[in-house]
Amino acid sequence: MKLLPAFLLSLTTLVCSAALRAAPISFGDGERFNFRVSWGLFSEAAEITIAARAEQSAGLSQIRVTTTTATRGMIRKLYSFDGRAESVFDSTDGRMLAAVASTSTKKKKTHAMAVFDYTAANVRYEDYLRPHRSLNIPLPAGQPMDLITSLIESRAWNLKVGDRRPTTVMFDDEFYDLTLVAEKIERVETPTGTYDTLVIVPLMEKDPKGMFKRGGTVRVWISQDEKHLPVKLEVSLKYGTGTAWLTDYRPPFTPVALRQP
């Protein structure tokens, strides 16, 4: 069971990716996704909720995307895990402004925040529980966001099979270059129905690190209907595969338009 946290961390704190052009983020005010996570023989190992809301701060229009994760059922009795991540974006151009994430188990807690300064091309990373790890990080070109957000964001790019999109991803206190590849069309059955989907795979093709260096893979299935929903997310590691199935979806108060890649 001690292997489950690595999967949950990979799936939910892959948090903190896409080098978007000057265009608003595709998440809409009031939009919400609920996922059920299966792991091995456990069909209800955890739940993930991703929700967005519009807000104003000092006259700036923002979108706050909140991801919460918690183990459930028998898994929770064996291993209690709770995670929460919030990413704040400028709703006019899609730039990530700040990200904060925390996790909690019986044996370990994490709590860190990153604040983006585009004028100074710098990110201030604060580790509240391990202050010695706090540091300033040079901000790379592009507009990074968390990987889960970027995978869902890919629904707005109108990708076709074979398309490739470069991304910049923040894992904890480091940035990595990835490429999102539109791999194939696949029909999948989910708790919310059967869909023809576009399978998108993030690859770390240059100097792989972390889970990618260890042979891990991530995939997202985007429905090819008018909603373009992420109906399935998957993380495969050497010791197993975890899958998040979309079980409930609440649309935004105002529809969000697709963008050309």
- Whether 150 is in a domain gets the answer yes
- Check which CATH number belongs to the domain holding 136 and give it: 2.40.360
- Whether 178 is in a domain gets the answer yes
Number of domains in the chain: 1
C-alpha span between 183 and 133 (Å, rounded):
37
Q: Mean pLDDT throughout 247-255? A: 85
- Whether 113 is in a domain gets the answer yes
Give CA separation, 26 vs 20, 68, 91, 92, in Å: 11, 19, 9, 11
Residue 190 backbone dihedrals phi, psi, to 5 degrees: -130, 170
- Whether 260 is in a domain gets the answer no
Asked if residues 255 and 226 have their Cβ atoms less than 8 Å apart, the reply is: no
- Whether 255 is in a domain gets the answer no
Check whether 107 has a pLDDT greater than 90.
Answer: no
What's the pLDDT at 142? 67
Range of the domain at 81: 4-250
Check whether 120 has a pLDDT greater than 50.
Answer: yes
What's the pLDDT at 199? 92
Q: Mean pLDDT throughout 81-104? A: 88
- Whether 238 is in a domain gets the answer yes
CB atoms within 10 A of CB 138: 9
Asked if residues 220 and 197 have their Cβ atoms less than 8 Å apart, the reply is: no
Task: Give the 3-state secondary structure of the chain.
Answer: CCCHHHHHHHHHCCCCCCCCCCCCCCCCCCCEEEEEEEECCEEEEEEEEEEEEEEEECCEEEEEEEEEEEECHHHHHHCCCEEEEEEEEECCCCCEEEEEEEEECCCCEEEEEEEEECCCCEEEEEECCCHHHCEEEECCCCCCECHHHHHHHHHHCCCCCCCEEEEEEEECCEEEEEEEEEEEEEEEEECCEEEEEEEEEEECCCCCCHHHHCCCEEEEEEECCCCCCEEEEEEEECCEEEEEEEEEEECCCCCCCCCCC
Check whether 116 has a pLDDT greater than 50.
Answer: yes
C-alpha span between 242 and 13 (Å, rounded):
14
Question: How much of the chain exceeds pLDDT 90, in percent?
Answer: 26
List the single range of 7-21, 40-54, 145-159, 238-252 with lowest mean pLDDT: 7-21
List the single range of 13-22, 140-149, 170-179 with lowest mean pLDDT: 13-22
Q: Mean pLDDT throughout 180-203? A: 91
**Pair of tokens at residue 225:** 């209907």
What's the pLDDT at 62? 92
C-alpha span between 3 and 64 (Å, rounded):
30
Query: Average pLDDT of the chain?
Result: 80
C-alpha span between 152 and 148 (Å, rounded):
6
Q: Mean pLDDT throughout 217-238? A: 85
pTM of the entire predicted model: 0.81
What's the pLDDT at 150? 60
C-alpha span between 202 and 235 (Å, rounded):
11
Asked if residues 165 and 154 have their Cβ atoms less than 8 Å apart, the reply is: yes
- Whether 244 is in a domain gets the answer yes
Check whether 19 has a pLDDT greater than 90.
Answer: no
C-alpha span between 72 and 79 (Å, rounded):
9
- Whether 132 is in a domain gets the answer yes
